[in-house]
A = this chain, B = another copy of it.
């Protein structure tokens, strides 16, 4: 019997990067290491300057990503004791769209003294929202100039968070930076470039964030010209038309990257991937009808289908976007865990905090304990989960929260439970929308932070949707998924795998415990969901646009 082989996954988050090293044979995690970005999220002053950023800005320093390679990879090698010669592949996943301008050799403009003081030279993080004017114009012009069908692949709207609004903002506000940028690139692809010396572009970010489709490619120059003549040739001038499928080998570790990481030169590196998408095979899903929910402050809903369908309100459909040779669908709820966090920060009385302290619980645990004693419908409350707008299926950031049914006897745990239920109704509506559009969903796999933190929430989701929910064994699901893609990049010839389906079969597992829907609760939630849908449509589909009018009035009053 030969020695074990290993793969490393590196998951780049919003505040830190995490590396894991896993056994290729079974996915078992041997070591994990986290490295925090020293410049974190840059949203007040440009580092080392007194240049103040506008409120919607969110930048990062690309050097922080290199530091993750330099620190976290050696750390997992050392902790695990694995011989770098037994590491067959490396994969990475990243937040997206997180993008930056570079020179032709990959040097970020922000590294160059002549551009360092220009905010547009830095990485625009996924949650940089200052390109909203460009996004609004893009959506309007696309419809007017005959490119509306492209938008339909994205629920009807391109987000300000995505690639072209961000690129266009550079052109609008800093044309000199735009001109100096030889390349505009996802940070995901950029870090792979730093490891391999090869500029590659992956099908996931290209498809979900940059309007690329496998059959049609990028939108044509005429589309970009309609936005701004300066953008006409953006793809040919600043990007790449060759898009590589997930799991493909981007290249091998360079001698410089070997110095950073202690890995062997030539070790296979997979093309980049996105945190939510890479989680799908790591959650055991390589086929249709099983939806993966990455549940945290928000929920990403990921599923693959048989055929490329236009599903209203989804975030995107991309052939090869999640798994090879299948259309990947992404939908999302923009505010889930955030509801509960808002609630505990703003609405929980002191007596509950005291009770939690006495019982040695955190406040979420106390509320969960109290809320678990209620039956569906017992509170008489119903809420719309729109505290941060609605992504799927309405795609409307101007919607706001609603709750009704309160009486003088309503207790905090009832409100807390109503907020959980509201987010579950939101997920059910997304599932039903997929089902009605030829993308069937038969079971749910939940990962992210929430499944481990709130069992009541998981049971409510099972009861509301009527679907069983399974939970993957791995807690570092993104990093595992990246390591799996590293093993595929290495290939079976190098003791890895030739497909992500095989890798998933061997390296990913579910826990024994699962959440099965309770039929009695389901029947009650069917009644409540019907009420939810009526109110969802009344407030969300134009019967009464009171939420938008109030938001407009609010903005007028604040600015007056």
| Residues of chain A whose beta carbon lies under 8 Å from any beta carbon of chain B | 335, 338, 342, 345-350, 353, 375-382, 384, 387-388, 400-408, 410-412, 415, 524, 527-528, 531, 534-535, 538-539, 544, 546-547, 549-551, 553-554, 556-558
Contacts and interface: CB of A to CB of B under 8 A. Distances in A.
Contact of A401 (B407, B524, B547): B407
A553 B335 contact: no
A423 to B, nearest CB: 13
Contact of A411 (B346, B353, B557): B346
Number of identical protomers: 2
A305 B129 CA distance: 59
Given A382-B546, A554-B380, A401 B404 contact: yes
Nearest to A379: B554
Contacts of A335: 408
Given A378-B558, A544-B534, A400 B407 contact: yes
Given A534-B544, A546-B531, A377 B553 contact: yes
Contacts of A381: 550
23 contacts: A345-B349, A346-B411, A347-B347, A348-B349, A349-B349, A350-B353, A380-B550, A380-B551, A380-B553, A380-B554, A388-B408, A400-B405, A401-B404, A401-B405, A402-B402, A402-B403, A403-B403, A404-B546, A404-B547, A527-B549, A531-B549, A531-B550, A535-B544
Contacts of A387: 406-408, 410
Contacts of A375: 557
A366 to B, nearest CB: 13
Contacts of A558: 378
A338 B551 CA distance: 28
A531 B388 CA distance: 21
Contacts of A349: 345-350
A412 B380 contact: no
Contact of A405 (B353, B408, B410, B550): B550
Contacts of A405: 400-402, 547, 550-551
A83 to B, nearest CB: 48
Q: Which 3 A-B pairs have the closest CB atoms?
A: A401-B406, A402-B404, A380-B554
A414 to B, nearest CB: 9
Given A387-B407, A408-B342, A534-B546, A557 B378 contact: yes
Given A376-B557, A402-B404, 9 more contacts: A335-B408, A377-B550, A377-B553, A378-B557, A387-B406, A402-B403, A403-B406, A405-B550, A531-B546
A428 to B, nearest CB: 17
A557 B523 CA distance: 12
A378 B551 CA distance: 9
A352 to B, nearest CB: 9
A377 B528 CA distance: 31
